[in-house]
Amino acid sequence: MISKNQQTFLKKKLPVYIKLASSMSLVFGAMGSVQAYAAEAAESTEEIVITGQRASVQSAQEVKKKSNVIVDSIVAEDIGKLPDRSVTEALQRVPGVSVGRYTNNDAEHPAAEGSGVSIRGLTQVRAELNGRDVFSAASGRGLSFEDVPAELMYAVDTYKSPSADMIEGGLGGTVNLRTRMPFDSAGQLASFTIKGNYGDQIKETNGEYSGLYSNRWSTDAGEFGFLIDLSTSKLASRSDQVYSRPFLPRTIDGKDQWVSKGVDWRRNDYFSQRDGKYAAFQWAPNDETEVYLTGFQSKLKSEYDENAFFLNSANGDNAIVPTSAKNWKYGANGEMISGDVTVANPADWGLNFGTSTRWTPGTSTTTDYSTGIKWSPDDHWKFSADLQYVKAEANKDDYTLGVILFPPTARLDGVGTESASIYIDPQYMTNYANYTLGQAMTHFERNEADAKTGRFDVEYSFDDSIIKSVKAGARYSEKTADNINTGYDWKTRYDTWTAGGGNRNQITKVTGDQASKYLTLYSFNDFQRGDVQVPAAGYIYSENAVKNFWATTEGVNAGCNDWYCGNDKNALTNEAYRNTQEEKTASGYIMVNYGFDDLSMPVDGNIGVRVVKTDNVAHGHLTTNEVKLPDGTVLQSANAGDFDAKNDYSHVLPSFNLRVKATEDLFIRLAASKAIWAPSFSDMQARMTISAAVKDGITKPTSISDYNFTLSQDTNPYLEPMTAKQFDVSAEWYFDEKGGMAHVAFFKKEVDDFFRRGTSNFNINGIAGTATWLANIGSGDIKGMEVGASKFFDTLPAPFDGLGLDVNYTYIDSKANIPLPKPGTGNGAAPIDTNKDQYGQMPIDQLSKNAFNVVGMYEKDGISARLAYSWRSKYLIAWGSNGFNPDFPDGSGKAAIPIYNDDYGQLDASIGYTFMDNYTVTLEASNLLKAKTIGIMDQIKAGDHVAYSYAQDARYSISLRAKF
C-alpha cells in the first residue's frame, strides 16, 4: 500500500535521489539514472554515488530483484556505451537471448548488424513499446529491433515469464522498449552526442548525431513535464561472400563421385540511415492524477548494392567435368575439392558463368501515438486508461541485371571450404565480346499496417491481508494491413540450356555500343581481406544501368523476338499480389497479487488468467481450375474472383508467478504459464488456386467424384496461433550491495502447432481436398538452463579496484516432433539430398544448444572501459532455400539441402574518459577479431561442407557526449 505522502515522494522527490545515486547518462551519451519500479521505490537504500557501468548493472539488478515476474533488463547506459549500434546487438548480452546474422532469415543475405532475436531458442518474440503493442508493416506482429534507434531507449526489458496483466503473445518472451519520461528527472536535462564510425572493408566514415532536452515545471495548475529526443545515424558496411553450392552425384571416369553445382562470389555494400523522434508530455494536476502523451517514430532508409560472379553448372551438357582424368582432387567422401573444370563439349558450349548487379532500396517506418491517464483517488484504488494508435509502413524495390559468358575452362580450388577460389583466363574475362546480355529480375513490396487500441485497468489494494491486491482490465484492438508482394519476377533473354541449338557461338554477343552504355569492368578489391582468389576482372552491368532499370531493359529488349520480352512494369497494380487483413482482438484478465509476509521465508507473487478472442478476415483471390472429362464434357467451370477467408479463435491463458525470499539476498522463483504466438499477416494470405486430377486407379472418369482436389501454396488464411506451456524455476543471489549477483534458471517449454509447410485437408466454398500449404503441424519440447554472475572487485588494490566482470551461459536442448510431407509434394517442404536420400526429422530451427557472454569492465577516475565477447553454437537456418535447392540430375524434381550456421563469436570493446564532469569521449570497436559468418550444408553421403563464408566489417568509432 502506498500512501499519499509516499506518492508525493515518488513523483517529486524520488528523481532527485535517483540522480544523486546513479549519475547515469541517457543513451545519447550520458543518459538517465537508476530507474526502479515506482511501486517499489519507497524502499530506500543506502545512498552511494555510483556512475557509468556500475550504475547500469545495479539498475538492471534492481529491476530484476523487484519484479514479480522473471525479467532481465538492459538500462540505457549499457546501450549507450556498448559498441552496439542497435537494440538487437545490445540484446545479445542478455542471458538466454541470441541474435541472428541474416536479413529476414535469408541465408543468402547477411545483415549489416545483428538481425532477428530469439529468447530461449524461440524466435516468436513479442515486441512492446512502453508496455504497448508495436509491430512492423509486413508481419503485423513482431518488430525488427535493429530498425529502432538505440539512442531513444531508456531501458530494454526481456520478460521470460508473463503475468496476466501483460498483453498476450510471445512464445520465447517479450521485449519491452522503454523510453524516458520528463518526470524521470528532477529538473532540466540536456544532452547531445556526436559520433563518427568507420568500416575497415568499405573504408567509409559515417556520422551519428543525437540530442535530448527534458524539463519539468511546478505551476498553480499542477506540475508539467516535457521531453524531446532526436537521433540520426548513418551506416556504410561491406560484406564479402563466397559460396559453394550443393554436391551432385556424378559418374567421373567410371567412378561415383560428388561434384558441386557451382561457386559464387559476391560483394554486398549496405547503406542505411536510421532516424528517431520521440516526444513526451506529462501533467500532474494533483498528487492523485497524472496525464501523459507520447509520440514516437523510428524510420530506417536502406539500400544494398550487390555485385556477383558465379559459376552455375547444371545437368546434362552443362555439367562440370575434369579437363583430364587425373586432374581432380577429392575429399574423404569422394567430393571434388579442386581441379581444372570444363564441360563435355567446350567447343560448342562452355562453362555457364555469369555476373550480376543488384540494387535494393527500401524504407521502413513505425509511428506510435499514445495517451493515457492514471488516477489513484485513495490508498486502495488505482485506475488507468490508455489509447494508442500505431502506423507502420515498409516499401522495398529490388532490381537485378546480369550477363553471361561461357569460358571453355576454369580452375577451382577449395570447393566446400571457407576459401573457395577460381581462376579464369583474364584475357577472356576482360573481352566484352565474349559476353551476352543475360537475365533480369524485379521484386516489389508495399506494406501498410495500423492499429487502434484502447485499454482500461483497475486495481484494489487490501490492508493486512495475504491478498495484497486484485487487478483486472480489458483491452480492445483493431488492426488492418494492406500488403503487396510481387514475388521475384526472373526473366532471361536467352534460354541458356538450349539457346543457339546448343552452340554458344550462335548466341548474340555484347556489342561495343552496348558495352559502353550498360557495362563496366569490375574487380573485387581485397576480397575477404585477400583470403580468397576470384577472377581478376569481369564485365557487369553498371550501377547507373541498374538504377535506371526500366530505361536499360527497354533499350536492351528493343525488337525482342524471344520468349523473354521484359519484366512486369505494372506488377504493383496487379490485385493478385495484394493481401489485406482485418483483425479484431478483445481480451480481459483478472490477477491476484498475494503475499505471505509472516513466514520465516516470505512468499509473494501473482496468479491470474487472461482470455483473448481474435477475429480475422483475409481478403484475397480464389481460383478454381476447370475440370473436364476426356470427351470434353465440363464438370466444373474455371472460376476466379475475390475471396474472404474468415478465421476466429479464442484462448484462455493462465499464469502463475511465485517468489520466495529465502533470505534478504536470496530469492527463489517459480513460474508457469500458457502463451500464444499468432501467425503473421504475410503467412495468412488468401491467394489460392484449387486444381483437380483424376484419382489413382481410375482410367475413365465419369463424374466429379472421380477427381482429387488439391491446393499448393506457401500461406494459409486459416492458420491458428502456436501455443506453448511454460515452466520456470530460478534462484537469484544478491551477495553484495555493489553489483555482486549470481543467478541460475531452469526452464521448459512445450510448443504445439508450429507453422510448417505440410499436408492437411481443406474445405473451401464446398470444395474439399488435400492442401500442401503452411499449416499448424507438430510439436516440440525445449528445456534448458541459464547461469550467470556479475561482480565488481572493489577490494583489489588500486588501480585494479575498478575492475568488474559479468558472465552468463545458456544451455538449450530441444526435441522436435514435426511430421514432414513426402518429398515432391512441395518445393522445399521436406529436406531431401541431391541423390534423393531423405533426412527425416529435423531439429528446431534457429536454436543453438550453447551460448555465452563474457564482459570485462573497468571504471575508475573518469575512465570507463569494456571488453565483451558473445558466442553461440551451430544452429539450423532452413532447408531448400534459394541456391541450395538444385534440380535432381534426372530432372524429376528439386533437392532441399539443410543449411546450418556454424559457431559464431564476436568481440567488441569500448573505452571512454569523462572530463570536466559533463563531457565524455569514447572509442568503440565491434567485431575486433574480424569473425566470419560460416554456413554449413549438410549432405548425407557427400558429408558436411562450408556452404558460404561471409566476411563483414570490423567497425571503429569515436564519439563526444555532453550532459548539462
Cα distances (angstroms) measured from residue 854 to each of 92, 163, 806, 918:
11, 31, 6, 30
pLDDT of residue 566: 75
508-515: Cβ within 8 A, 24+ apart: 508/436, 509/433, 509/434, 509/435, 509/436, 510/403, 510/432, 510/433, 510/435, 510/436, 510/437, 510/539, 512/432, 514/437, 514/556, 515/432, 515/435, 515/539
What pLDDT digit, counting tens, does each position of 109-148 carry? 777 777 788 999 899 999 999 999 998 887 888 788 888 8
Indicate if the pLDDT at residue 546 is higher than 90.
yes
What pLDDT digit, counting tens, does each position of 213-247 carry? 999 999 999 999 999 999 999 999 999 999 999 99
Indicate if the pLDDT at residue 657 is higher than 60.
yes
Crossing angle of helices 52-66 and 14-22, in 10° steps, is: 130
Q: CA-to-CA distance for 192 and 963, rounded, in angstroms? A: 7
Q: CA-to-CA distance for 326 and 781, rounded, in angstroms? A: 51
Indicate if the pLDDT at residue 917 is higher than 90.
no
| Percent of residues in the chain assigned helix, strand, coil, to nearest 5 | 10, 55, 35
Q: CA-to-CA distance for 200 and 237, rounded, in angstroms? A: 9
Q: CA-to-CA distance for 396 and 443, rounded, in angstroms? A: 8
Indicate if the pLDDT at residue 42 is higher than 70.
no
Residue 695: DSSP 8-state: P
Indicate if the pLDDT at residue 722 is higher than 70.
yes
Determine the average pLDDT of the residues in 330-337: 95
Rounded to the nearest 10°, the torsion over CA 599, 602, 605, 607 is -20
Whether 35 contacts 184, CB under 8 Å: yes
Which of these, 310, 274, 321, lies nearest to 153 by C-alpha position? 274
3-state secondary structure of 385: strand
Indicate if the pLDDT at residue 8 is higher than 60.
no
User: How is 549-561 classified by DSSP, letter by letter?
Assistant: HHHHHHHHTTT--
pLDDT of residue 9: 36
- Cell readout for 551 is 530505361
- Cell readout for 774 is 503452411
Whether 281 contacts 225, CB under 8 Å: yes
Per the document, the length of the chain is: 964
Which of these, 212, 264, 244, 463, lies nearest to 335 by C-alpha position? 244
pLDDT of residue 84: 67
- Cell readout for 873 is 553454437
Which of these, 483, 493, 486, lies nearest to 439 by C-alpha position? 493
> Residue 732 forms beta bridges with which residues?
667, 743
Establish whether the linkage from the previous residue to 322 is cis, with ω within 30° of 0.
no
Neighbouring residues of 503: CB distance < 8 A, sequence distance ≥ 6: 348, 349
At 583, the pLDDT band (50, 70, 90 cuts) reads very high
User: How is 732-752 classified by DSSP, letter by letter?
Assistant: EE---TTS-EEEEEEEEEEEE
Neighbouring residues of 248: CB distance < 8 A, sequence distance ≥ 6: 258, 259, 260, 261, 315, 319, 834, 886, 889
Which of these, 735, 748, 757, lies nearest to 824 by C-alpha position? 757
Which of these, 322, 282, 106, 40, lies nearest to 181 by C-alpha position? 282
- Cell readout for 729 is 524455476
> At residue 915, what is the residue type?
F
Whether 392 contacts 162, CB under 8 Å: no
3-state secondary structure of 87: helix
What pLDDT digit, counting tens, does each position of 492-527 carry? 876 555 554 556 667 888 999 999 999 999 999 899
Q: CA-to-CA distance for 840 and 846, rounded, in angstroms? A: 18
Indicate if the pLDDT at residue 811 is higher than 50.
yes
3-state secondary structure of 455: strand
3-state secondary structure of 319: coil
Q: CA-to-CA distance for 139 and 721, rounded, in angstroms? A: 14
What pLDDT digit, counting tens, does each position of 368-424 carry? 999 999 999 999 999 999 999 999 999 999 999 999 999 999 999 999 999 999 999
Determine the average pLDDT of the residues in 901-926: 93
What pLDDT digit, counting tens, does each position of 842-855 carry? 899 999 999 999 99
Residue 964: DSSP 8-state: -
Which of these, 148, 111, 108, 99, lies nearest to 127 by C-alpha position? 148
β-strand 767-792 against 707-712: which pairing, if any?
parallel
Cα atoms in the Cβ-side hemisphere of radius 13 Å centred on 84? 34
